[in-house]
Structures are given as structure tokens and as C-alpha cells.
């Protein structure tokens, strides 16, 4: 069994109830959330062996986060506990024309302030086979960027497979750096790359582009986009490209392609008309992808499973993919929404 | 006024809040539920005189169930109280591609263990005009099957009209019997039969079949299916055939046909795009059917009223049809969803 | 900055949770609501200077209403406190084919019983530039009708711009009067008129009519309807006509036209497929209209902003338009439902 | 088995959650409440046959009240449904030095406006053995006072036992009458009288008085008070005198005496240090008294059972005594608060 | 009418429901809280004219705080909106032996980072008669300390009465300073000083001490403690000394003394055995004190009112004194916990 | 560090909200509970290494139980998953004179039906130092009794320390056996025995007895009781005797003694006047005892820590001791209920 490790920030997410605007009524729903943590939990619920590396404060918030990860079966023994604060974000659901709104309060968190020496990557990645990271972690702070690069480099040196989800949050990048430079340095350590159609340009500064409707009618249009990546970074062996169409806050569709230098598989399109919670949908896709790559390798089954995982997440409150292999498999095979009685 | 009696199991239904998965947050919503009980409550809220026969435990759960039925105006004086437990089921809502999920904990309930001698049908059915039962009750246990057949036979002997909703829950049938044999024996006592297009084959072992789109374009295709029933069991005088199309967990449509040996009426199709709670939808249809048969007899009005009752239920949390004659009538006549201010 | 004043009833709204029917479970959600109050809060949240005139009881309900208005920045110093009761209404959400249901308990409220001498309009309207009222206020009671007419007349005499939203609630008119007569008297004081396509006939007794699909294909069909108003009441200088299509309780569309004697602008059509709370949608439109007229005058931008405000309200629980200028502007310019991360 | 009938107002009670002040957060808890209704439900839960007579509006509020009574087993077939409104009251819990606060909104309810001809007492009291009423009903309105007296007179004429709980709500008496005169007229029809130590003076204008500590040290001090009643109204055969000591909003004690012309029994004193909900405590006492008089007659057991019923109510949210005979009996016999595992 | 101004931090308080430990279940209750803000709201609810000066972030959290203050009638027009974050604190209720637990997340808030030039005190204090501050504000940060001293000095220069509540939070003082030095500098501008028996030593470095039971038996023991203050800072004209005895998390008592150089008044002792929420109790005392000093001057009535206000707060969830003059007056006069029906 | 293992049933506990009676309102609060599981979680939260052995069903309920244990840091890798059901219990809080009420629905659970061969104790207890069990496990079923004895015997054989909490639930013993015989057989394997003053007679059939007030005035009275145990089972080396006084459902006190053949230590008495949740109090005592024995050995500190742990649990909702070593230590040292700000 593949043994995964991931590194990133996990925050407390404080959500207004139902479709209320923030602070409309005086209560908040607490869940935990963070791009790599979402992938970790999703994989753990699928039965995988996952270790999550982060820095948490030694207060009730840090403890609560650790316990939540542990509940889902994630290995928390590699977490560093420090003095400081936990990153938070406040969120309200969107509906119809009203988009989801997020208010971040994540500055100066433990992970943002953690010095590279906090993490001994040789030890943290021992007995691990796969390292996953996203483009959000280096955006947190300059030290987090250094930790990210060191982790990726060490993972590669130690022979782990490295996957990376380009995941640009432009507003997060607050320190003096060109994020494209950082992403391009990261690419040197990557085996499996995940991104949406816009990321190749916005994160990596590449030039290939696709038309919005190509996913339906002309999936081969994505080939040049992938080839440009393969050409720049020959170490990258697989690319998963996700495609989302947003009709309204609660009506969207999702699909994806798995591309290797030799082949390409296009998933079914999943139409989601009554989205419950779209945050974490991309991370659920990644969890599904990693799990399926492990089980079914490069194939149409793999990309369908990954997209089904991502779609299923949209029906579940919170950031986490709380689903079993069987549930995702059933959906990937087409039995959408039928009763299980 | 027609005086109804029904017999079956009523359970406590424990539902995760909103669209949460089971036990995602630590609370459960309690309602009561059971096929015949749902019909009983629906009829009682429509102003009918209904008596419900079951066995309940003499603890707080059994008392709570009795009180809930009584609240809606169902006659509870015929309920047998016993030592034992109440059947439970845990449920989570579906959304989009994620289906409703039910976890049963109903084994060894009072009603499953009740011996036939617990129920004196001559007394229980005295001063009643109509007896209703579903295909779920004989599935509960072998003793429940014997009780079912005895009740049906007695009802017929006493001159009551007998209606039966074929309602196959394949996983429930745990004792040594071929369910088709049981259903065929039940048919001998039935006047009014209710089932969906698949039940005639799966429950009764008949051969006629329809195409999925026939309800829209070719309703006469259902005629041979009904005729096969009429031929086998000449005592059956009316058949209501329900049709459901499932696009996703919360987008479905419903329609139905009322068939007699001489005539056939097809209802409007109700498209439900934001289903609130689909459990009990079939029982609401039956409640509407029985009520309307009593008021408007064999007619298009009757089947439209029944389908409107079923559709309306999909917008109401819980298993029960909490609606008035006027509300259903308004919907049956086409004023869907307009404000009543 | 334009300084607004409005006059009308504000009630406590007691809603069943989620999609439950009234009293299905034993809790109610409390918000405050009333046509002019909704406009007042909407404008105040958009940063406008608004004073709300009403009569409230000197008990905890009246105090709670005052505090809620004050919270949103509405000037409450002109409210009259009296002995008596607050109007209430109970409401349940609709879903699919099941419409919203309202049960009023608003008879004999303070505002319904307030004598005209309670309100010294010269003082209440001092230092105000714009007076807004709806057709609901004169329907409350005969004294409320007299207060309404006196307020409108005084506003006009003092040189305020007067806007009026025809807003017929036929069931409210309980005293001896022909409501058309009252509305026609009100029109004599109006500068800006708001109404839907049916109001010109039902409230004002005019004859022009449009076809239901005209908004999409033939907006000029609305011109004669507006001209008939302009002809009868030359004091009316602008008319906003709102158009709603109801497909189900939670799937509706909205659009509007702004008409002057010289020109006409038609808004985009907003399709709302998962309505959260449609009550107050019309008042949000009015708040958006008044705000935009002030900022962008007679223009396509103005009517698009107003319709976007109305559409946005449909995604927010409660009667109030809790939204900022920027949010509405973004929607008016077409970015419906995209994440703001 | 004694068959009871009672007459009075039942209201909807809207309570702020927990210990919050009214409208501190935007939700209210709904229960039903009213002096005689509380007694009716308490008796029904103790297994008695009780019919409740009142007037309710034909809207969702009236229906909800009827259903709630029916749920507890009260016979609701004698309720009159009328046009009008349901009485409401808003309430917040007290704690420590902060008392319970009630805001009434009960004016002009159906029962307050019901004309005497609405109630045909000969029919309503047929097949009933006992009629119970409180001093609140005649306070509602002048017509309610006439209904009260007619009901009591008819009950007496028909041979029913009549019990009356003096229960002065001074603020309710709004019409032109001296309430002492009304109470003295009522006394002419009473067999069993219930009141606290102050009522004999405040309601009946009598002169005997007791000292506050007499219940502990000198219960015979209550004898002259009772004798004064027996002297004025020889028809009164039993008096139950309740005694309450209020240390704070949630720390109170309760005790009572049962007095006949020949004998007197004093109950144990129940100290309640963490009161959950004290409203309805007196009505629970009455329910316990009527039930116990029926079972154990004039005795120390009877008054202990009644006080235990009243004390137990203080631990239960809502106005109703939701308790069984066994639970009260156990408490009356001294096993306060021990686990039942 | 005295016009008040106050300056300090207001935070969002996130509380675990009921008696739960933090994050035991996934929801938090949101209220607003801060020492001076609590006083401001308490005074505003008592009908006083209060302006609150602070710095808030221009995000949804800052807006929500402003709206909450505005709701209670506090003037919010003097609040500075800045880039940055709002201070938060997480809290769980105590019970029995388990104490309240607070987890602060208030570092780097807008107010902690606000430079003195943000506040133009001449303008902010114009048309104000009284300035109030606590010992918490200078503890927030070094800049906050400079703002505090400048505000106090300006207030005194402008002729305002200055009150100060010594309110030591030792853990807050994180910058390089001896807090006693700061407090002693603050004292030079104070007219009315508030503190508990320990503050005179811990905050001001004075030597006089009292015995714990003196409040009950020997209140004159507090005279030397006050005299030491009067001697050091002759500008101080009144001292209110509060006394709290903690038996458990929910059983405490409170009392106070009002001391002038010439006289001394000791309040009643309030025993609180079922505390609902003790946070803000001291601030409620201060609000009551300022209000009563204004109404009844130096007197026993004043200190009793202040203590009653503080005691009453302990029965109300949240930090704010949500109470009227009449409610506090009734309690100050001894009617603790009796029903108001 | 001592490595613990425990064996027993863990159930889902479904509690009515607040102080409501069961099913009074339609929601239930879900927690997990079971005597040994409670000890396991308490120890894990204190930082100990604990493995919990049980049998759980392979459905969502079993998964939820496993996840909850895992969240608290308990090792769940030794749990057996089987076909079957999870034991449930329904509970309502007591208050004042009203006791806690429990309705069990735990018959036929996985653990009750698990055959001894399901558990390979040699493997399950490998690398463990301490085995803990209670008197509840053998009561579940005859097979559970056989599993219990085999586990205890194996543990002893393997050299583990064995602790046992006598914990009689008389109603659970449903199979043909004299529970005293079972308990006496269990004693042969025990090193550390825990029980209350009555258990030595009711469980073990011994004769020594104490007077109820002895804990306060005459603790040496417990010596003969302990000596009788030491005499019968020389393998028992320590006895912890717990003492509880129940004044009402929410006012109780607790204390304990630690007795060895050579010495005896009596704890302080903890008076708990506002109990939040008393279930699990005994298990929290045991968790505290095992933890403290490990840290401070036989001593007054140990028994004070254990009683403080038990007392603290009474202030926390749910069965689990959610507390840290520091919190219990602070309480054991006497700082009850003081703020930690």
C-alpha cells in the first residue's frame, strides 16, 4: 500500500448557518479545512495510509484540529506544536447569483511563521512513498515557501513520488516574490501535476490555451497545453486537468482529463444542480485521483473516479470528502442519486 | 365516511441534519415512519377516520410513537403494547449525485416478533370499511407474514375493501420463503392494487413490461401489464401504477395511471427539481388515492389528486403527508408554487 | 446625499425552520419585516440616510423591532411608541410545487390604530428629500389610510420627491372603501411609481395590458401601459415596472423596465433556480432603484442595478437586502455566483 | 373512571432559548399553555379521561394547538373553531435574581370574543363527572365570564363535581367588574377549591391570614382560613391550599395542605434548587390533586402526591406535567433525584 | 443628560454551546465583548448617550461589531475603520468545580496596531461630558498605551469627568513596561476610580489591605485602602471598590463600597447561586455606577444600584447588561427573582 | 509509559436536549458511551497509551464509534468488526427531584453476540502492561462473560496488571447465572479493585458494612470492608472505594478512599451543586486513578486526583472525561471554579 505524506496549512473554518450571510444570526459552524489536509482526510477515509505534516498552536484550537484529523484516520504524529495562533476563515454559502464569500483571518499563523528548521524532512518523510503539496503552501509566507521547496526536494531525493496541485490564491501572495518563479521552481520536483485550464498560464507562465467548450466537443485541444508542460519539465509524467463551468453559486459542472506524454483520457461531465458545499471539491478530486492512480493506474477509470470523488464532495457539508470507495465507484459508473434501500 | 384500518410497522427515523452525512455532527432529528403508518397519517390529516394496528414496546419510544400518531388524529386504541424494542432507521438526505442512504436497525422489533394470536382481527376490523396493507409488512418476519395474510383474509371475509401497495424491500426478506409466493397469496384478497411498473414482475412474477418513456408518449403500453393482473386475480378491480424518473437525488418526476378492466386514466407529470424529502412519497400517493377514490371515484381527478399528494410530500420534511385537501386540490389543478398571500 | 423618509408597518415575522411546515417542530425563527421597512434597511445598508416612521408598542417586541432597524443604520428617532400590540406573521418556506404560506396575525396593531394626530408630518419630514410609501400602508386600516394620504400630501407640499410602490394585498383591505379610489388619490402626490404589470389594472383601474412573454421579446409592449399612467397623472415622472415568472416556489425569474415619458430601459432577466427566501424581493428592488436613481439617474445601469438587488435578495434569508453596493454592482454587471476567494 | 371536562383559554407560548432575554437571539421555542389546558394534559398523561372545551381559530395556530392536546390524549372533539386569533405569550426564563418575564399578546383571542351561545353546556358536559375551571377564564373578557358562570352552573345542575383554582392575574381583568364579586359568584357552584394563602383575601375578600413560616412550624394556623371559606360557601367540601417560598428565580420551595371541615393534612415541603421551568407548577399540582383524590381520597397520600406532581413539573420544560403516576408516586414517597438505571 | 465617551477594544467572543468544552460539538455562539464596550452598551440600554471610540477592520467582522453596538443605541460614528483584523476570544462556560476557560486570539488587532495619530481626541471628545476607560486598554500594546494616556489627558484638559476601572489582565501585558508605572500615570487624570480589593496593590503598588470577610462584618476596614488612594492622587474624588467571593464557577457573591474622602456607603451582598454568564459582570457594575451617580449622586442607593446591575448581568448570556433601569431598581430594592406576571 | 488495554461494550447514547424529557422535542444528541470506553478515552486524553478491544458492526454506527475513539487518541486497531447491530441507549437529564432516566436498547449487539473465538487475547494483549475491565461486560451476555474471564486470565498469565471496576447493573443480567459467582471468579485475576461501599456486598457477597456518614467522620470504618477483600483474594493489592451522596439529581457529593493492606488514604469531599452530566463520573474516577497510580503511586495525591477527575466529569456533557492533567491537578489542589483569564 502506498504511504502518503502531505504538508500544508489546516485552518478552522467558521461558517454562517445554512444560506445566511456572515453574522446574520449569532452562530457559526466549525469545521477544519486546508487544501492538503482535505486531500489527507479524503485519502484516509478511502483507507489509505496518510501522514499530515503541519505546525499547530498548543492551544484548544490546535488540539481540536489534531483530533479532527486523527478521527478520520490521518497520522498526526508528525505535526509540530508551537506557540502562536491557528489560521481561521469565515465563510458564507452562496446561492443562485450570490457567490460564496470567504473572509480570511489566517495571517501570522503557526505554519506561516514556522522556520524551516522546525521540519526535519528526512525524518518526516521516512517510510513514505508519495509526497503531495499544493500551490497554496508556498503562498502563506516566505518561510513556508522555503519549507515547501525543501520538502519537495527532499522527497524527490528520497525517491518519493511527488504530486502538486497548482492552486493559485492570488490574494495570499503577500511577500516579495513573483509567484510564477516559485511555481516553476516547484515543478522541478514534480511527478504528477494537477491544475485547471487557467493554471498553466497563471501559475507557470505557459502560453497554450483552450476554448471553454472544448471539454465537451474537442478534448484533444488540451493536448498542446499538456505537451508544453511535459516539454519544460520532463520529470512530470502525468497531468490531471480539471474543468469547471459555473452557471451559478449552486449549479456547476465538473470534468477532467488525465494526460501522459503518450495518452489522454477524458472523464464524463458531472452536472451538479444543487450544490451543498463546493469548497474542497478540487481537493476531493485530488484524493480520488491519487487513490485511483494507485488502484487502476493510467486509465479512463482513474479519471472518472477522480471526477466522481470531486463531484460527490459538492453534496457534502464541510471541506472533507466523507465517502467510501464503493460510493465513489458507484457514482463513477453512473448510478447518480438513486436510493440505496 | 369510509372508515379505514391499516396494519404494519412504524419505526423511529433518526436523520442527520440538513444534507450532512450520518454522525457528521452529533445530532439526529427524530420523526416516525412506516409505510402503512404514513398512509394512515396522510388520510387522517385529510380528515378521514383511520385506525392503525401495530405492536409497540411499552417504553418511552413506543409511547412517543403512539402519541405522534394520535397527534395527527389516527385512532391508536387498537395498538398492542408488548415487551421488546422499536424498529429504528438512520437516514441521511441525498443531494445531486449522492443518494439517500438508510441504515436499518429494525430487527427483532415488537411487530417482528408478535405472534398471530396478539391480533384478534375480527375485533380489530369491526366497524371498519377498508383495510390497507403494503408488501413490507410480510417481509418483516415469518410471524408478520402470517399476521398479514390472516388480517387480509379476515378483512375480505368481513366485507371490507382491501388495498395493497406492492412495495418490495428485497433486503428485508430474511426468512425462508420466496417473496413472490407470499405476494401472490396476498393478491387473492385484494380489491385495489398499487405498484410501480417494476413491481408486477419483481413481486408478482408477471411478464408484461413497459418502456421507460411510455408514460409520456404511449400510456396505453401499460394496459397489457394491468390486464395480466386482472386476469390472474379477477378480485382485483383497480390498479394504480406509479412512475418515477430519477435524474438525481433531488430532481425527480412522478406520474401515475389508474386502471380498471374497462378504463384507464393517466395523470399529469410532476417535475420536482428541489426535493426536500422523498421518503414517504409513495405512501402519500396512496393516501391521496384512497381519499380521492372515496370522493371522486374512478376518474382523472382521482389519479391527479393522488399524484399531487405524492408530489407535495416531496417538499415536506419527514415521512408524513402534512397537507390539506385544499392544498392538494390546488396543486392537482395546476397552481404549482405560487404564493398564498 | 439624498435623505429618505418612509412610513409603514413593520412586523415580527415568525418562520418555521428550513422547509418545515408551520409548527411541525417547536421552534420559530424571528426576523422583522414590512414593505417600507425592508426598503429602509436595504437603503441604509447601501449607505443611505434613511428615517423610518411607524408606531410601535412599548413592550419587548416593539423595542426589538426598533433595535433591529437601528442595527442596520436606519434612523429610529421618529418612531412613535404607543400602548398596543405589534403585528405578527407566521410563515413557512415553499419548495417545488408547495408555495410559501403566510398566516397573518396583524390586526389591531399599534400602527393600525394610530390616529393621524400621532404623526406631525411637518416635523417628521423636516430635513428629508425623498418620501417613500407602498400600497400596503393604506390597506392596514382607515386611520392608516388617512395618515398615508396626509403624509404624501405634506411631503409633496414640502417639496420632497415621493415614490410609491403599488403593492396590492387584497385580503388586507377590510374597511369600507374601494381600494382603487384610494390608490388613485395617492397617485396625485407621486413622482416615481413602482408596480408590476398587473397592478396598473388591479390598483389603478387602467386598461392597458401586456402579454406574459413580452418582457423577453417585445418590451415596447409596456409603453402604452406606462403612457396611460403618465396621461392620468402628469406629476408621475418615472415608472418602474417589475416582471416575475413563477415556475415553482423556488424557481422564478425577474426583470424590470424603467419608463419615463421620453424613454424606456429594459433590464436583463435574472433566472433564480434555488430561491432561498423570496419575501422582500420587491422591496429590495425598490431599495436598489432608489439608490441607483440617485447615483446613475435614468439609465439602463439603474434598472439593472435595481433588478440585481431584487434578485440578490432571493438568495438571503429574511426580508432584508443585506448586501453592499459592490455586491449588487458585480451582479448587475454579470458575474453571477462566482467565488470571491 | 372519573370523566373530566375543563374550560379555558389555551395559548401559544413563545419562549426565548435557554436563559436568554427575549429576542436576544432570533429564535423562539413554541409550546402550548393555559391553566385549565395544563391540568387537562397532566390528567391525560396520568391516564385520565379528559375533555377540554375552548374556542380556537381555524388557522394553522389553532390546528397546532388542537393537535398538541390530542397528542397527549385529551379529547378535543368539543373544541369550537372560529374566525379570529389565538392568544400568545412571550416569555423568558429567570435565573438567580432575574425573574421570569412574560409579555402577553392575548387580547381579542377567539375565546375572549366567543359569545355564550357558542357553547351548549348541556351537550358539552354530557357523560362527564367532574368540571374544572380556574379564576383566569372569567378574567379574559366579559363574555368569557358569562360563559364561565353558565358552565359552572350547568355542571352543578347536571350533578358534576366542580373544582376551581383561584388564580388571580390582576392585570388581565380589563372590563368593568369587581373581580371579587365574580369570584364570590363562582364559589356558589364549587365543591373543591384550590388556592394559595393570599387568594382567600385577594380573590374572595376574606379576612383570615397566616404567617409566612406557619407551613413549617404551625400548620394549624391555616384552619381558620379554611373555616371562613366553609362558612361562607357550605357547598365547598375540600380546600387545597398551596404554599410557595421564593428565594430566587430558580430556587423555591413548595408545600400544600388539604383541608376538609373535619380534617387537615399537611404535605412534605419540596425544596427545588435548580428550577428548570416553573410555569404550570400550580396546574400540575391541581392535576395531581384531582388524580389522587380519585385514587386515594382525602388523605396525606393525596396531598403529598399533588405536591410531588407540582414539584416534578418544575424540572420539566414547558407548561405541561409530562410524567407518569409511577414517577410522581416515587417522588411523593421520597426518592428524590436518584438514578433509574 | 451626561454624554459619555469610552475608548477600548471590542472583540468577537466565540463560545461553546451550553456547558460544553470548546469544540466538543462543532458550533460556536457569537457575541461581541470588551470591557469599555460592555459599559457603553449597558449605559446605552439604560437610556444614556454614549459614544464608543475604537478601531475596527473594514471586513465583515468589523461591520458586525459596529452593527451590534449600533443596535443597542451606542453612537458608532467615532469608530475608525482600518485594514487589519478583529481580536477574537474563544470561551467555554464553567460549572461547579470547572472554571470558565478563555482562549485569546487577539494579538495584532486593528486597535493594538492603531497609531496615536488615528485618534484626534479633541474632535472625538467634543460635546462629551464624561470619559471612561479601563486598565485593559493600555495593556493591549504600546501604541494603545500611548493612545490611552493621550485620551485621558485630553479629556481632563477639556473638562470631562474621567473614570477608570482598574482591570488587570496580567497575561496581556506583553511589551516592555512595568504596568504599575502605566497605571500610576493614568491615575493623574482620574476623577472616579473603580477596582477590586486586590487592584490597589497589584495595579497601583499601594500597601493597604483588607481581610476577606471584612465586607460582611467590618466594612470600615476598607477606609485606609481608599485613603491611601486619595492621598496619592488628590484629583480622585470617588472610589468604588468591588468585592467578589467565588464558591464555585456558578456560585458566587458580589458586593461593593462607594468611598469619598468624606463618606462611605456599603451595598447589600448579592448571592448568585446559578450563574448563567459571569463575564461582563464588572462592566455591568460600572455601567450601573455611572448611571446611578448621575441620577442619585453619592449615596447608598447608587452603590446598591451598581451592585444590582452587576448581579443581574450574571443571569444574562453574553457580556452585555441587557436590562432596564426599572429591572435593576427593582432588584436593588430587594425583589429578587419574583415573577412579573 | 504504562500501556493499557481495555475490553467492553461501547454504545451510542442518544440524549434529549437540555432538561427535556425523551422525545419532548424531535431531536437527540449523539455521543458514545460505555464504562471501559469512558476510561479509555479519559486515559488517552491524559496522554496515556490505551488500546480498546470491542466488537462493532460494519455499518455507519460502528464506523462512527471507531472514529470517535480514534479522535481522542485511543488505539482502535484491535476492534473486531462484525455483522450485527450497535447497542444504543436513550437518556434524559434529571433536575432537582427528577432523576436521570435511561432507556436501554442494547440487546443483541455485536459485542453481546461475539463468540470467544473472535478475540485472540494473546495477540490483543501483546505489548500491553495493564488490563482494565468492569463488572458490566460479563453482564451483557453469557458469551461476553466467557470472553471477560478469558481476557482476565490471559492478562494475568501474561503478567499484566489487572484492574476491575465492580459496577453492578442488576437489570442487565439476563442469562442463567448468579452474578456473585461470576464476580468472585473474576476477583481471582485482579490486582486493583474499584467499587463503591455497596458493591462489596452486592457483587462479592461479603459482609462488612459502613455507615453512610462514615466518610466524613470515621473513614477507618472502611478498613474492615477492605480487609475482607484482601483476605479472600490475596492477589488484590489495592482497593479504591468510592462514596457518593445524592441530595438531588443535580446536587451530589463525591469522595473516595485508596486502601492497601498496609495503608489507607481518604480524599477530600467534592460537593457538586449544579451537575451538568453525571454519567461517566465513576469511569472518570477510574481513569484518574489509573493515571495517578502510574504517576504518584499509593498516596493521598493519587486518590485526590482520582476524585477530582470524577468530580470534574460531572461538569462536562457526555460520558467522557475531556480534561487535561493540569486541569484535574489544579482542582485536586483546591482551586475550584476560579477563572483562568
List the CATH code of the domain at A3-7+39-54+72-80+120-331. Answer: 3.40.1190.20
Distances (CA, A) of E88 to E10, E11, E12: 9, 5, 5
Q: CA-nearest residue of chain D to C85? A: D105
Overall average pLDDT of the C316-320 stretch: 97
Model pLDDT, residue B338: 61
The minimal CB distance from B97 to the residues A312, A339, A341 is found for A312
- State whether residue C66 sits within 8 Å of chain E by CB: no
Interval D134-145: pLDDT, tens: 999 999 999 999
* Chain centroid to CA D20: 26
C-alpha angle B209-B210-B215 in degrees, rounded to nearest 5: 155
Out of B272, B317, B331, closest to residue C18 by CB: B317
Question: Taking 60 as the threshold, does the pLDDT of residue B10 lie above it?
Answer: yes
Interchain contact, F249 vs D318, CB within 8 Å: no
Q: What is the mean pLDDT of residues B82-109?
A: 96
pLDDT of residue A216: 84
Query: Cα(A94)–Cα(A20) distance, rounded to whole angstroms?
Result: 9
In E125-187, which ranges are continuous DSSP H helix? 137-140, 142-157, 179-187
- What is the grid cell recorded at C157? 407640499
Residue owning grid cell 399599534: C110
Of A23, A60, A61, the CB nearest to E30: A23
* Chain E: partners with 3+ C-beta pairs within 8 Å: A, B, C, D, F
- Max Cα–Cα distance, chain B, nearest Å: 57
Q: Which of C21, C96, C171 shows the shortest C-beta gap to B274?
A: C96
Q: How many CB atoms lie within 10 A of CB C262?
A: 7
Residues D171-201: tens digit of each pLDDT: 899 898 999 999 999 999 999 999 998 999 9
Which of D20, D101, D102 is facing E317, going by the closest CB pair?
A: D20
Contacts of F336 in chain E (CB under 8 A): 96-97, 99, 248-249
What average pLDDT does range B226-251 have in this prediction?
95
Average pLDDT over every residue of B27-36: 98
Does F68 sit within 8 Å of A70, measured CB to CB? no
pLDDT band at E134 (very low <50, low <70, confident <90, very high): very high
Nearest to A28 among E14, E59, E107 (CB): E14
Residue from the list D96, D171, D274 with its beta carbon closest to the beta carbon of E272: D96
Query: Does residue A10 belong to the interface with chain E, where contact is any CB pair within 8 Å?
Result: no
A22 and E64: CB-CB below 8 Å? yes
Q: What is the DSSP letter of E219?
A: G
pLDDT recorded at residue D299: 94
Which cell numbers in the block locate residue F317? 456533557
Please give the grid coordinates belonging to residue B37: 403508518
Q: Is the confidence at residue A241, as pLDDT, over 90?
A: yes
pLDDT above 80 (res C257): yes
The span from the CA of D149 to the CA of D186, in Å, is 6
How much is the pLDDT for F337? Answer: 63
| Beta carbons within 10 angstroms of residue C34's beta carbon | 30
Subunits with 3+ Cβ pairs within 8 Å of B are A, C, D, E, F
| B96/A331 CB distance under 8 A | no
- pLDDT tens, residue by residue, D315-334: 999 999 999 999 999 999 98
Using DSSP's 3-state secondary structure scheme, residue B42 falls into helix
User: Percentage of chain F with pLDDT > 90?
Assistant: 91
CA B277 to chain CA centroid, Å, is 15
> Residue D182 to residues D111, D194, D201: CA-CA distances in angstroms?
18, 16, 14
Taking contacts as CB-CB distances below 8 angstroms, the residues of chain F near C25 are 25-26
Neighbours of F (≥3 Cβ pairs closer than 8 A)? Answer: A, B, C, D, E
> Which tops the pLDDT comparison, E168 or A231?
A231
Give contacts of A22 with chain E, Cβ < 8 Å: 60, 64
Tell me the average pLDDT across C94-104: 94
Average pLDDT over residues F172-196: 95
Choose, out of E11, E17, E95, the residue to mutate when testing the contact with F (most F CBs < 10 Å). E95
- pLDDT > 90? residue B259: yes
| pLDDT computed for residue D325 by the predictor | 97
Judged against a pLDDT cut of 70, whether residue E337 lies above it is answered with no
Average pLDDT of chain E to the nearest whole number: 95
Out of D95-99, F204-208, F256-260, give the one with best mean pLDDT: F256-260
Whether residue F251 lies within 8 A of chain D, CB to CB, comes out as: yes
Say if CB A146 and CB A110 are below 8 A apart. Answer: no
CB pairs under 8 A between A and F: 14
Question: Is the pLDDT assigned to residue A252 strictly greater than 90?
Answer: yes
The x, y and z cell numbers of residue C210, run together, are 401586456
A10 touches chain B (CB under 8 A): no
On chain C, the residues whose CB falls within 8 A of the CB of B276 are 19, 95-96
Measured in whole angstroms, the distance separating CA C63 from the mean position of its chain's CA atoms is 23
Residues of chain B with pLDDT > 90, as a percent, come to: 90
Check the CA dihedral C236-C238-C241-C242 and report its sign.
negative
> Does B317 sit within 8 Å of C19, measured CB to CB?
yes
d(CA B1, CA B98): 43
pLDDT in tens, E141-157: 999 999 999 999 999 99
Q: How far apart are alpha carbons F221 and F31 in whole angstroms?
A: 39
Residues of C in contact with D85 (CB under 8 A): 105, 107
**D25/A contact by beta carbon, under 8 A:** yes
The pTM for the full model equals: 0.96
Tens digit of pLDDT for each residue in C288-298? Answer: 999 999 999 99
Integer CA distances (angstroms), E61 to A231, C67, C333, D23, E86, in order: 47, 19, 27, 22, 7
Residue range B187-203, pLDDT digits in tens: 999 999 999 989 999 99
Cell of residue D236, nine digits: 365547598
CA proximity to A271, closest of F258, E334, B251, D23? B251
- E100 vs A: CB within 8 A: no
Inter-chain CB proximity C30 and D23 less than 8 Å: yes
Residue B73 sits at the chain D interface (C-beta within 8 Å): yes
Interface partners of chain C (CB pairs < 8 Å, 3 or more) are A, B, D, E, F
Inter-chain residue contact B276 with C96, CB threshold 8 Å: yes
F25 CB neighbours in chain C (<8 A) are: 25-26
Residue C294: CB atoms within 10 Å: 18
Residue in E97, E171, E212, E273 to test binding to F, most F beta-carbons within 10 Å: E97
Taking only the tens place, the pLDDT of each residue in F34-59 is 999 999 999 999 999 999 999 999 99
CB pairs under 8 A between C and F: 3
Which residues does chain D have within 8 Å of residue B68's beta carbon, measured at their own beta carbons?
Answer: 71
Strands (E) across E34-184 are located at: 49-53, 55-57, 80-82, 88-92, 101-105, 130-134, 161-165
Chains that contact A by 3+ CB pairs under 8 Å?
Answer: B, C, D, E, F
State the ipTM, two decimals: 0.95
E68–C71 C-beta distance less than 8 A? yes
Does pLDDT of E159 surpass 90?
Answer: yes
E338 pLDDT exceeds 70? Answer: no
F118 reaches B (C-beta below 8 A)? no
Burial class (CB in 10 A: 0-12, 13-18, 19+), D47: exposed
Residues of E in contact with A101 (CB under 8 A): 60
Interface contacts (C, D; CB < 8 Å): 57
Q: Residue F340 pLDDT > 60, yes or no? A: no
Q: How confident is the model at residue D104, as a pLDDT? A: 96
Write the residue in F31, F86, F108 that is nearest to B108 by C-beta: F108
Closest approach of F21 to chain C, Cα-based (Å) = 14
C337 touches chain A (CB under 8 A): yes
DSSP sequence for B192-235: EEEEETTHHHHTT-------TTHHHH-GGGGHHHHHHHHHH-TT
Q: How far out from the chain centre does Cα D243 lie?
A: 14
Question: Could you tell me where the beta strands, DSSP code E, fall in B106-143?
Answer: 130-134
Share of chain A above pLDDT 70, in %: 98
pLDDT(F166) > 90: yes
pLDDT of residue D192: 98
In Å, what is the CA distance from D116 to each residue of D54, D128, D149, D151? 12, 20, 10, 9
Q: Which chains touch D (3 or more CB pairs under 8 A)?
A: A, B, C, E, F
Amino acid at each position: 500500500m502506498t504511504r502518503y505524506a502531505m504538508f500544508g496549512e489546516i485552518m478552522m473554518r467558521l461558517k454562517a448557518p445554512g444560506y445566511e450571510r456572515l453574522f446574520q444570526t449569532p452562530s457559526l459552524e466549525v469545521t477544519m479545512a486546508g487544501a492538503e489536509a482535505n486531500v489527507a482526510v479524503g485519502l484516509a477515509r478511502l483507507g489509505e495510509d496518510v501522514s499530515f505534516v503541519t505546525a499547530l498552536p498548543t492551544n484548544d484550537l490546535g488540539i481540536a484540529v489534531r483530533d479532527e484529523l486523527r478521527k478520520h484516520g490521518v497520522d498526526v504524529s508528525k505535526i509540530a506544536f508551537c506557540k502562536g495562533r491557528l489560521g481561521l476563515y469565515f465563510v458564507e454559502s452562496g446561492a443562485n447569483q450570490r457567490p460564496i464569500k470567504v473572509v480570511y483571518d489566517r495571517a501570522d499563523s503557526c505554519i506561516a511563521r514556522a522556520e524551516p528548521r522546525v521540519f526535519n524532512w528526512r525524518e518526516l518523510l521516512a517510510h513514505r512513498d508519495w509526497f503531495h503539496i499544493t500551490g497554496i503552501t508556498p503562498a502563506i509566507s516566505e518561510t513556508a515557501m522555503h519549507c515547501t521547496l525543501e520538502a519537495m526536494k527532499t522527497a524527490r531525493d528520497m525517491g518519493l513520488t511527488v504530486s502538486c496541485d497548482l492552486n493559485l490564491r492570488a490574494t495570499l501572495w503577500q511577500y516579495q516574490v513573483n509567484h510564477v518563479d516559485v511555481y516553476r521552481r516547484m515543478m522541478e520536483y514534480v511527478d504528477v501535476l494537477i491544475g485547471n485550464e487557467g493554471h498553466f498560464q497563471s501559475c507557470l507562465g505557459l502560453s497554450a490555451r483552450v476554448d471553454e467548450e472544448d471539454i465537451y466537443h474537442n478534448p484533444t485541444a488540451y493536448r498542446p497545453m499538456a505537451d508544453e508542460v511535459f516539454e519544460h519539465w520532463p520529470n512530470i509524467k502525468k497531468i490531471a486537468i480539471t474543468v469547471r463551468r459555473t452557471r451559478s453559486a449552486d449549479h456547476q459542472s465538473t470534468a477532467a482529463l488525465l494526460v501522459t506524454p503518450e495518452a489522454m483520457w477524458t472523464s464524463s461531465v458531472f452536472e451538479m444542480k444543487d450544490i451543498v458545499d463546493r469548497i474542497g471539491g478540487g481537493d476531493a478530486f485530488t484524493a480520488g485521483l491519487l487513490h485511483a492512480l494507485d488502484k487502476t493506474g493510467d486509465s479512463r477509470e482513474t479519471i472518472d473516479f477522480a471526477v466522481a470523488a470531486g463531484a460527490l464532495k459538492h453534496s457534502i457539508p464541510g471541506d472533507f470528502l466523507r465517502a467510501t470507495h464503493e460510493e465513489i465507484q458507484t457514482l463513477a459508473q453512473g448510478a447518480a442519486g438513486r436510493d440505496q434501500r
